[in-house]
Amino acid sequence: MWRCVKISKQEIQINEEIRDKEVRVIDAQGGQLGIMSAAKALELAVEKNLDLVKIAPQAQPPVCKIMDYGKYRFEQAKREKEARKNQHIVDIKEVRLSLNIDTHDFNTKLNHTQKFIKGGDKVKVSIRFRGREMGHPELGTEIMIRFAEACQEFANVEKPAKLEGRSMIMFLAPKPNK
């Protein structure tokens, strides 16, 4: 019966699954026990009521450690969970402006952008051109430049304003902390 357990994208062989003739054995405290047959190493592990785990299969001879495998798996899962908890996923929030935006609306959009940037997210600022507005892309560029200048103290322009079809898009990213 073959049973390989996969921990963090690596298959680990334990106890009877280790088919190598000779293995280098490390005891539970980390001391070297030397090179011996897999059967003898397994006997040592059973005597101590622990498992024999192959930790370095690519080595010559493969390295096995005598340990409590259940405890090892638990601590490995705990470490992975802790690592996932500390990472921050950057979202892209979108703020839509219009070509004939008024001052108060502009300031409201600016405040939303500031809140998103302070939260660590990137912001996609877009202007959608409708109908005859397509004839005046320079007005959209002016609004984008004005918006980028207003965001200058808390954000960097990651991608400058660019017309793509009927939309003008610009990306802002948080300023790096010093």
User: In which residue ranges of the chain is pLDDT below 70?
Assistant: 1-10, 178
Q: For the chain, what are the domain ranges?
A: 5-86, 92-174
pTM greater than 0.85 (yes/no): no
When the candidates are 3.40.50.170, 2.40.10.220, 3.10.180.10, 3.10.20.80, the CATH number that belongs to 5-86 is: 3.10.20.80
pLDDT the model gives residue 178: 57
pLDDT the model gives residue 9: 46
The radius of gyration of the chain's CA atoms, rounded to the nearest angstrom, is: 30
pLDDT the model gives residue 10: 56
Query: pLDDT, tens digit, for every residue of 67-107?
Result: 888 888 888 889 888 888 877 777 899 999 998 889 999 99
Of the candidates 120, 107, 113, which has an alpha carbon nearest to the alpha carbon of residue 94?
113
Query: 92-174 in CATH: which number?
Result: 3.30.110.10
Of the candidates 66, 160, 173, which has an alpha carbon nearest to the alpha carbon of residue 118?
173
